[in-house]
Chain A
């Protein structure tokens, strides 16, 4: 028995070592830094601050605004991507001409790097020569992301939808193809309409997949960076300065290592809480199913 245990530890040791090295140690270091006022360009670069950085977070209007913007972004993206993805996935269960091509084109954005997508949309939405502002101008609407905060905000959402809805479609298609036939046959025998079958059979059966997809997308959208950075850099003003962008600016530009560590920890805590509730929900829905 002892030999077995030794063998097990020997086998997992390399992986464990790497995990500790690249996962645990940086987190511990961030916890350590969060207790300090630490700016590289300060006269005294590092001094102990206790919980001051966390206290500062609560009263920092810039952070609170970026957090609010970030959560709104998460809510809108997930709130649109999931129903839209489910709708498209359902459409793709039907047989129609050109389905294969449609499916291939649909998944293309997933193969592209977020930074490329950001650059591409910068050109598409460029107020001077981009096709989108040009077409809007034709119908009498002035579209200019450099001026309109709302347009910039919704454009970032649009880009995220364009990029990630195909992922949602793929997961739902996988989920739909694995559903059992019997409940559908029973619904057919009971004379259920298409909508009733979808509402009372498909949705409950697909619930674990929906929640898992939601779980992944919440985490992804909460830390969105590349596309928005390329597209607006957080502007105009602070209109798209989501919390991830705010954090990066604080670390790389302001070099506020202590305060940004506290902010990172808070965001990690927030993500863990959200994930905990979702996972609990997923587990309970699985048990119910």
Chain B
């Protein structure tokens, strides 16, 4: 009997091991490549986002188990992540072996030569997996290249900030009839800001009338960098004000100096943004990007524009979401002409957000870190990774059965990402991004709080941006 149990246990162990190895293509290669670094501890830092959590909770433990390289991966708040990364990069202390390089900060890091070019690693077959397949990455990887096509970061997250709405409410015949009676046209996904405003107003009033907690709009309006990002990434582009309102050739923002930051269109859009807060929940001015996802997931919002990295849990986690099978996504509304400009490549309608893992110039275990970066982006894990974190960085991931299944559940998000992703854009090349954001935050939050009118805020902001650019030598 004892012998039988023993045989059974050994069989189970063999099966379990082979199952584990089956989830990894060519495990022997990983073990061999990692052999010289066995026992090494690599340290990394990232923002506490769903993709980072997936890497910490799933990818890192598996990597450790297979290679013997220990991963200490810190996920923390956005500001803390930047403070720690920049201090390490600036001092050259070499605390981190890999860091989160967000798309909008890459220009600042490159200008300071803070990152290691990954080309020499990619060209080295002893530490680059034969199936790494660089051309398989979506065009998002181009944001992490310098002018000479050197790569400084491998994307691990890429997603859109776009329109999301409640299908159960939009398809309700009673609501549809009430909307048509009030506004004279059918309730549908808005394509203009006027339609969006009508829908926002309608649902907020509907919530009040019915005594339910339902609002027609959501925003990240806290006195926090997020409010500035919302304007420059989402609102202004869809109103036709691109590149943060900055003329990238002259590096000036005011209309007088060739920018568009205090243009009539920018002011109109900003006035609209401030006015619309009345249709959002009372606490909207305390919301950051975290709360917008959470409040939508709680079922309190009929429509809004949010970071769609949250879609995974909103669409599929019953412990957190009250709107499973009740949501769909679409392109955001735009001002007249903006969509045509985006299609022609002369503008963009919203933000293609994301980040990569890069290796600091001062990292002490660069090769081991490179192995881990590849591990997180290996093809066979991308479907599961997308399921956990609603992100796609490889074109082949779109064909993964898990992603196809998720596409239906998220109301066509992955199809939209694949087919219409080109209409969105990452942040412009502004190496002074961080101090710039602080100036935007100051004036935008003043207007959001009612200390100053949106129009006056933009005049002051444009003036201060010009001055900052001059002070910084641009």
Q: Please give the residue numbers on chain A whose beta carbons come within 8 Å of chain B beta carbons, in ascending order.
A: 37, 39-44, 62, 122, 126-128, 133, 144-147, 149, 232-239, 249-250, 252-256
Contacts and interface: CB of A to CB of B under 8 A. Distances in A.
30 contacts: A37-B471, A39-B435, A39-B471, A40-B90, A41-B432, A42-B472, A43-B473, A43-B474, A44-B473, A126-B283, A127-B282, A127-B283, A144-B283, A144-B285, A145-B286, A146-B283, A147-B450, A232-B223, A234-B223, A235-B222, A235-B224, A235-B285, A237-B445, A237-B449, A237-B451, A252-B83, A253-B435, A253-B441, A254-B435, A255-B435
A235 B473 contact: no
A41 B429 CA distance: 13
Given A237-B450, A239-B449, A253-B225, A146 B284 contact: yes
B108 interface: yes
B36 to A, nearest CB: 35
Q: Which 10 A-B pairs have the closest CB atoms?
A: A235-B223, A146-B285, A237-B449, A43-B473, A236-B449, A127-B283, A128-B283, A237-B451, A42-B472, A254-B435
B271 interface: no
Given A236-B449, A253-B435, A253-B437, 11 more contacts: A39-B472, A42-B473, A126-B286, A146-B282, A146-B283, A146-B286, A235-B285, A236-B450, A238-B451, A253-B438, A254-B434
User: Chain A: interface secondary structure?
Assistant: loop
A236 B451 CA distance: 9
A233 B435 contact: no
B177 interface: no
A213 to B, nearest CB: 33
B395 interface: no
B270 to A, nearest CB: 15
A235 B448 CA distance: 10
Contact of B472 (A43, A145, A236, A253): A43
B150 interface: no
A39 B473 CA distance: 10
Nearest to A239: B449
A235 B284 CA distance: 13
Contacts of A146: 221-222, 282-286
A149 B474 contact: no
A122 B108 CA distance: 33
Contacts of B79: 252-253
A250 B281 CA distance: 31
A42 B470 CA distance: 10
A87 B295 CA distance: 44
Contacts of B473: 42-44
Interface string B219-239: 001111100000000000000
Contacts of B433: 41
A254 B112 contact: no
Contact of B448 (A232, A234, A237, A256): A237
A149 B451 contact: yes
Contacts of A144: 282-283, 285
Nearest to A44: B473
Contact of A238 (B108, B284, B446, B474): B446
A250 B439 CA distance: 10
B412 interface: no
A64 to B, nearest CB: 14
Contacts of A40: 86, 90, 112
A184 B90 CA distance: 64
Nearest to B446: A237
A145 B287 CA distance: 12
A43 B451 CA distance: 33
B442 interface: yes
Interface string B448-474: 111110000000000000000001111
Interface string B283-302: 11110000000010000000
Nearest to B108: A41
Contacts of B16: none
A21 B39 CA distance: 35
Contact of A235 (B90, B438, B449): B449
Contacts of B225: 253
Contacts of B94: none
Nearest to A257: B90
A255 B436 CA distance: 10
A122 B287 CA distance: 12
A248 to B, nearest CB: 10
Contacts of A128: 281-283, 295
Interface string B354-371: 000000000000000000
B111 interface: yes
B190 interface: no
